[in-house]
Amino acid sequence: MNIIFAGTPEFAASHLDFLLNNNQNITAVLTQPDRPAGRGNKMTASAVKQLSLKRGLRVLQPASLKSTTIENHIMALNADLIVVVAYGVILPKSIIKIPTFGCINVHASLLPKWRGAAPIQRAIEAGEKETGVSVMQIDEGLDTGPVIYQSQCFIKPSDTAGDLLRTLSKIGCPSLLRCIELIKTGSATLIPQDHDRSSYAPKITKSEAFIDWSEDAQQIERKIRAFNPSPVAYTTLNSIRIKIWRAQPIEKLSTTPPGVILSDDKKGLAVACRDKCLRLLEVQFPGKSRIKVADLLNSNASFLAEGNRLGT
């Protein structure tokens, strides 16, 4: 089949690479326009574009899909199928109806759970025990189309969003290929979603990354894992922003005001929360690299001393 691939980040690039390595005919690639990135805000191509150029694929980067120009471009490609993986743009109806077999999307959750932009982060934040990948037929709604294929996996207690993204990529790639084969042979079964069981995973905002120490220790720890590697949960001390990369709950009740440092030793930095305590294991100060708290205490013992209160 003639396939147009639409995607942007590394998660999408891994799926594109897998399809190419399995002899799928990718006639063109849609990806978002280059964006400023890094400390120098240098214009940077998406991971999908970089891979596509290396593999000699035709790349389209429209600022909008709602134009007759891009519609005509896609029509001229005679696509049998459009495959969407983390493209970051909702396909309009005029595009959806162009390919012979429509459009399919690889979504990083077990639909109808966690529809939306941040299914991986929201699943971790909610304390889910399992998740997976759904390959669905795209309709005009937000991740509401019928499911063709699903693969499940467990969420480990230590999984960050980055860890889970890699796991889902490993199961998503073969799931996508299997789904394409089912469509090609006319064997695909479209299973409607139960909309009453749906949940929404809104885009992560930077303001959410600020830690509220009056929350439960377990809840804060989940947020730290969910926001790793981006946007990274953080707190403040004397107005200095401190990113928190790793932490673990401590089974110890606390009557101390939330945010107060209870102890600082080689095990880490114990901080009071609403119910129990949280031990900070790895942090990062402005302009510095990530560092284990045990190593940091050698030079910042007074700053992170017992009794100081985070969030100030």
68-108 pLDDT, tens digit per residue, is: 999 999 999 999 999 999 999 999 999 999 999 999 999 99
List, in sequence order, every residue forming a beta bridge with 83; answer none if it has no partner: 5, 104
Helices 161-184 and 10-21: crossing angle, nearest 10°?
40
Helices 10-21 and 47-54: crossing angle, nearest 10°?
30
Take residue 263 and report the two structure tokens written for it: 């102890």
What is the DSSP code (8-state) at residue 260? B
Question: Does the pLDDT value for residue 298 go beyond 80?
Answer: no
Other Cβ atoms less than 10 A from the Cβ of 11: the count is 20
CA distance between the termini of the chain: 58
For 130-184, write each residue's pLDDT tens digit: 999 999 999 999 999 999 999 999 999 999 999 999 999 999 999 999 999 999 9
Contact assessment for residue 117 and residue 142, using Cβ atoms and an 8 Å cutoff:
no
Contact assessment for residue 253 and residue 275, using Cβ atoms and an 8 Å cutoff:
yes
The DSSP element (H or E) to which 57 belongs, if any, is none
Burial of residue 248 (CB within 10 Å: 0-12, 13-18, 19+) is: middle
Vertex 140 angle, CA 174 and 69, to 5°? 90
Coil, strand or helix at 122: helix
Take residue 30 and report the two structure tokens written for it: 């849609």
Take residue 254 and report the two structure tokens written for it: 């606390």
Take residue 43 and report the two structure tokens written for it: 């214009």
What is the DSSP code (8-state) at residue 92? P
Structural domains of the chain in order of their starting residue, each with its CATH number: 2-197 (3.40.50.170), 206-300 (3.10.25.10)
C-alpha 213, offset from chain centre:
24
- Share the mean pLDDT of the chain: 95
Q: pTM of the predicted model, to two decimals?
A: 0.94
Question: Does the pLDDT value for residue 299 go beyond 70?
Answer: no
